Amino acid sequence: MMAMDGTDPGSIQPQPAGRLVHHPQFPSQWIASRTVDVWLPPGYEQGGWRFPVLYMHDGQNLFDAKTSYIGVDWGMAEAIERLMAQGRVEGAIVVGIWCTDLRKREYLPQIPIESSKWARSRTKALYGGPPLSDGYLRFLVDELKPYVDAHYRTQPEREGTFVMGSSMGGLISIYALCEYPQVFYGAGCLSTHWPAARKWMIAYLRETLPAPGAHRIYFDHGTEALDASYASYQRQVDRVMAAAGYRRGKDWMTQVFAGAEHSERAWRERVHIPLEFLLAPRPG
C-alpha cells in the first residue's frame, strides 16, 4: 500500500540524528585553550540549509553524561531534535564551549565588578583574581564565531546568533548580549547566579541593556537549593526589563519553576522552553 505522496510506508526511514564534532584544545590569544564541541542538527548533512547558531557555556555538560558534573547532561541534542520533529523550531547548530579551572572568573561580568573597589576586592578574595570575562567574550566573538561561520553552514548575522548558559553561565550570557548587541540576537539565562554580581549587575543592566525590539532574552530559576536565593534579584531584573520597554512573552520571558533545584538534571527538564522561545521563527 502506498502513501498519498506515492511512497511505500515500509520504506520510510526515521530522520537522522544530529552529529557531534569535537574540537580539542581550541586555541585563543585571549584565554587558555579549551575543548569546543559543535553539534550539527538533523538535516545538516543533506546540505543546502544554513542554521542559526547557539553558543553555550559549560559545554562538557550538554551532550554526554560521562563528562557532565553530576553524571546527567542537558540532553541538548534530544531537546532540539524533539522540537524539530514537532515543527516548533527549524533547528540550530549548538557550539558547546567547555569551561576551565578559571570558570568563575571567566563568567563573572567584568565591567560591573570593576565599577566598585569593594566588588573588585571581594572578587579577588572569593575567586583568586579579577574577572576575565572580557577576554572570554573576545575569544567567543573574534575567534570562535569566525571559525564556526567559516567551517559550518551557519546563519552568521545577528538574527541567527544566540548565547545561553546556566548559573554563572547565565551571567555571562546576558553580559555577552549587552556588550555585543550587534552580534547576539538572543540570550538564554537559566538559574542566573545574580548573587555573584549583586547590585552592580543590576545597575549595569539598567544602563547598558540594549533597546527592545531587536533581541530575545530569557531568564528563569527554581525555588530549591541555590536557586532559592535568586528570586529577589530576578524581580529587580524584571523591573529593569519592563522599564526598558521589553514585552513579557514577546521579546522577554522570565519563568519560575517551583520545586526545581540547581543542577543539570533540572535544566535538562526545561531547556526546551528557552530553546523554543529563542529559536522560534520571527514573525513576518
Whole-model pTM: value is: 0.93
Burial environment of residue 152 by CB neighbours within 10 A (0 to 12, 13 to 18, 19 or more) = middle
Helix axes 76-85, 272-279, angle to 10 degrees: 60
| pLDDT at res. 16 | 54
Read off the pLDDT of residues 110-159 as tens digits, 9 standing for 90 and up: 999 999 999 999 999 999 999 999 999 999 999 999 999 999 999 999 99
Q: CATH number for the domain including 237?
A: 3.40.50.1820
Question: Which residue range forms the structural domain that includes residue 229?
Answer: 17-279
205 domain residue, yes or no: yes
Which DSSP state fits 210? Answer: P
As given in the structure block, the three cell numbers for residue 168 are: 554563572
Is 67 inside a domain boundary? yes
B/e letters for 239-275, b = 16+ CB within 10 Å, e = fewer, are ebbeeeebeeeebbbbbebeebbbbbbbbbebbbbbb
Q: In this structure, is residue 9 part of a structural domain?
A: no
What pLDDT does 187 receive? 98
Give the model's pLDDT for residue 240: 98
**Residue 84 is assigned to a structural domain of this protein:** yes
Q: What's the confidence (pLDDT) of residue 239?
A: 98
- 11 occurs within a structural domain: no
C-alpha 31 chain-centroid distance: 19
* Residues 153, 175: Cα–Cα separation, whole Å: 26
Q: Is 47 helix (H, G, I), strand (E, B) or coil?
A: coil
pLDDT of residue 1: 23
* 206 is a domain residue: yes
Q: Which residues of the chain have pLDDT under 50?
A: 1-15
Domain count, the chain: 1
Please check whether residue 12 lies inside any domain of the structure: no
**What is the distance between the alpha carbons of residues 139 and 131, in angstroms, rounded to a whole number?**
15
Pairing mode, strands 186-190 and 216-222: parallel
Whether residue 3 lies inside any domain: the answer is no
Q: What is the pLDDT of residue 284?
A: 56
